[in-house]
Chain A
Amino acid sequence: MSARTRPRRLSSRDLRTILGVTSALAAPFDLMTMLGEVVAAAKQVLAAERGSVWLHDAATGELVLEVATGLKPVRVPFGVGLVGACARDRQTINVPDCYADPRFDQGVDRASGYRTRCMLTLPLIDHKGVLVGVMQVLNKKDGVFDADDEALATALAAQCAVALQRVRMTEAVIEGERMRQALEMARDVQLSTLPATMPALAGYDVCGTSRPAELTGGDTFDLAMVERGLLVVLGDATGHGIAPALTVTQMHAMLRVAFGLGVDLDAAYVQVNNRLAETLPPDRFITAFIGLLDPATHRLRFQSGGQGPILQFRAATRDWATFMPTSFPLGALPLQRVRPAVTLTLDPGDILVLLSDGFYEYENANGEAFGEARAREVVFAHRDAPAREVVAVLERAVDTFAADAPQRDDMTAVLVKRDRSAAESIRFFARTFEALPAIFEFTSGEFARQGIDARLLATVDLAVEELFTNMVKYSTGTDARVRIGVTGIAAGVEVTLTDYDVDPFDVTKAPDVDVTLPIEQRRPGGLGLHLIRRLMDSVDYEYSEASRESRITLRKTFAGA
């Protein structure tokens, strides 16, 4: 800064100008507008013909001049030229005669055709001492820039520095907000691809859920009826955030398209893998289980690219079968072909359990992982509960195990449960009381075989006997055998008695017995139906005119007991 003999006081007019500029600087919040305001203010206050503002790029140490939209900005390193020297030394440089100063780059004038006479270059430093940039003003009208101009410019520069810094921080916040909104959108897209309702499949109970660790997750799952059966998918992309979320969403969509078109499992696997391998960056891939269940044969064929363990609870032996992945993760490398899919068979009561790493590898405060053994224990303990409940219990078990440890990975579960009850067991009995021992042998045998709670047997036997003996006593015009069927249902049993070639007689309409009468007025009859009504959850009667068949359906469950 040049020496002064006498400090000049800012005139009120100058002050008004600076304050006016300052309040103008307070208004706009996008960077380009702000730069324009700064340049306009400098020109006005300093009576300069031209001005420019260079911004300091802290990452590269360069000074950057935004020339115009669409054109690349000019970049000058620290220490180079007047701008770079000013930034490096944090000193104002006043050059009254540019062409006499070796630091001045005459090339710019030659290119633009403008003649720079004098130039004032000063650093823009905010209240915290951060170098925000460098301001330059050129060609003072009627003369050169003097010490008074330097003082004015310094006052203005301080305001400009603060204003520019505020704008840059605001833009960073807005960018952050835009980022957050982009993540929200990615999440919405991803969640919208997950099945909203679980497919209803006769003989099966299926459920899938996904709980992301952050706003978006890298996991996906699918349960959907397609041409070849039930599609079962569990996918886990490396990483969190938008990219993995969109990657698994992409895979989800491709699988739906492929199977929707009836493509074979192995072919679909190869195609989807190869498509992903083309588009994913080298360090990204998706571990995925992709299976098709044929509900008629109860066979599930699957390919698994690195997704495991694959657990099957087997109800008959009360043990577990474990399957390993069949291939490496999807999207890692292109495949020409793949080894044939693995087949597993679901017997009544069996459960296929697919869990992503977020379950198995959830660590508690001691660094211990939840693990496969605990997962098996939980499923085993709740093996008779609906699939939805088992999934909920698994999540709760992990949360309890983890205590306060945070969820670092997405937790996704897919359960495919084959219903416990086998088809109805049926037998025919001759119309005589002498068939009763055989009937009781049948019911007790079925209870044992189907795993129906034995505590229900005595009351069920009573109901069956009463109805059977009624048929024998009252439908005497036929000698057809009576058909009795036993089916295990959730928490209980359903029994049907069917009689053939008979007139209708709706047992459910028979009058109740008055059990409060004194003994002299009590009659032995009617007690059977009276007891059935009280002991069974429900008794239904159907009669078919066409076939002259009557059927009584009894239900008894533990909830109703």
Chain B
Amino acid sequence: MFAIDKSPAGSIVISGRLDAAQAPVAQAFLDTVDGVVTLDCRGLEYISSAGLGVLLKTQKRLLAAGGKLRLTGVSRHLQDIFGYSGFDQLFEIEPAR
């Protein structure tokens, strides 16, 4: 199961599993955001390359316009994935506390 929503505080909350089937849903949502966007990943259990592709595409677009994605609450497992993919060099990442 997967969910992506704007929180009252203005961040984007992403939770559940972001797999190849859900990637289009995530992409459609993130296409609507601008500027410096905080992505609250505390509830995100799983991400595959399809999900990584969504994040990459979004980051490129935001950077070009002077903004960026901040990923917060990133779990140990996801940190490993981002590390292997070199995404820790492309994104501001805040580990989960």
Contact = CB atoms under 8 A, between A and B. Distances in A.
B81 A465 contact: no
B85 A515 contact: yes
Contact of B46 (A433, A462, A524): A462
Interface stretch (B3-11, B29-37, B48-56): B48-56
A530 B87 CA distance: 13
B96 interface: no
Contact of B81 (A469, A513, A524, A531): A531
A513 B53 CA distance: 13
B63 A519 contact: yes
Nearest to A534: B84
SS class, residues of chain A in contact with chain B: helix
| Interface-centre pick from A527, A528, A534 (highest chain B CB count, 10 A) | A527
Nearest to A520: B60
Counting chain A residues whose Cβ lies within 8 A of the other chain, the interface size class is 20 to 34
A531 B17 contact: no
| Interface-centre pick from A434, A513, A522, A535 (highest chain B CB count, 10 A) | A522
B56 A531 contact: no
Nearest to B84: A534
B63 A440 contact: no
Interface in A372-391: none
A433 B86 CA distance: 26
A276 B49 CA distance: 72
Interface in A510-561: 513, 515-517, 519-520, 522, 524-525, 527-528, 530-531, 534-535
B84 A469 contact: no
A434 B21 contact: yes
A531 B48 CA distance: 9
| Interface-centre pick from B46, B52, B77 (highest chain A CB count, 10 A) | B46
Given A522-B56, A524-B52, A524-B56, A530 B20 contact: no
B65 interface: no
Contact of A515 (B17, B49, B86): B86
Contacts of A469: 20, 48, 50
Contacts of A524: 49, 52-53, 56-57
B19 A528 contact: no
Contacts of A530: 84-85
B20 A433 contact: yes
B57 to A, nearest CB: 7
Interface string A398-427: 000000000000000000000000000000
Contacts of B49: 466, 524, 527-528, 531
A111 to B, nearest CB: 107
Contacts of B57: 524
Contacts of B52: 524, 527
B52 to A, nearest CB: 6
Contacts of A528: 48-49
Nearest to B56: A524
Contacts of B56: 519, 522, 524
Contacts of A70: none
A465 B19 CA distance: 8
A461 interface: yes
A535 B20 contact: no
A530 B90 CA distance: 17
Contact of B85 (A437, A459, A527): A527
A225 interface: no
A531 B20 contact: no
A513 B46 CA distance: 21
B94 interface: no
Contacts of B20: 433, 436, 465, 469
A440 B17 contact: yes
B59 A519 contact: yes
A531 B84 contact: yes
A80 interface: no
A458 interface: yes
B21 A433 contact: yes
Contacts of A459: 77
Nearest to A523: B56
A433 B25 CA distance: 13
B10 to A, nearest CB: 24
Contacts of A520: 60
Nearest to A463: B48
B89 A531 contact: no
A357 B50 CA distance: 62
A527 B53 contact: yes
Contacts of A516: 86, 89
A534 B80 CA distance: 10
A440 B52 CA distance: 19
A442 B77 CA distance: 21
Given A433-B20, A458-B77, A534-B84, A519 B60 contact: yes
A516 B87 CA distance: 9
B77 to A, nearest CB: 5
B90 A519 contact: yes
Interface string B54-86: 001101100100000000000001000100111
A161 B30 CA distance: 114
Interface of A: 433-434, 436-437, 440, 458-459, 461-462, 465-466, 469, 513, 515-517, 519-520, 522, 524-525, 527-528, 530-531, 534-535
Interface of B: 17, 19-21, 45-46, 48-50, 52-53, 56-57, 59-60, 63, 77, 81, 84-86, 89-90
10 contacts: A433-B20, A436-B20, A461-B46, A515-B84, A515-B86, A516-B86, A516-B89, A519-B90, A520-B60, A531-B84
Q: 6 closest A-B pairs (Cβ-Cβ)? A: A515-B86, A524-B53, A528-B49, A527-B49, A433-B21, A436-B21
Given A524-B52, A531-B81, 5 more contacts: A459-B77, A462-B81, A520-B60, A530-B84, A531-B84
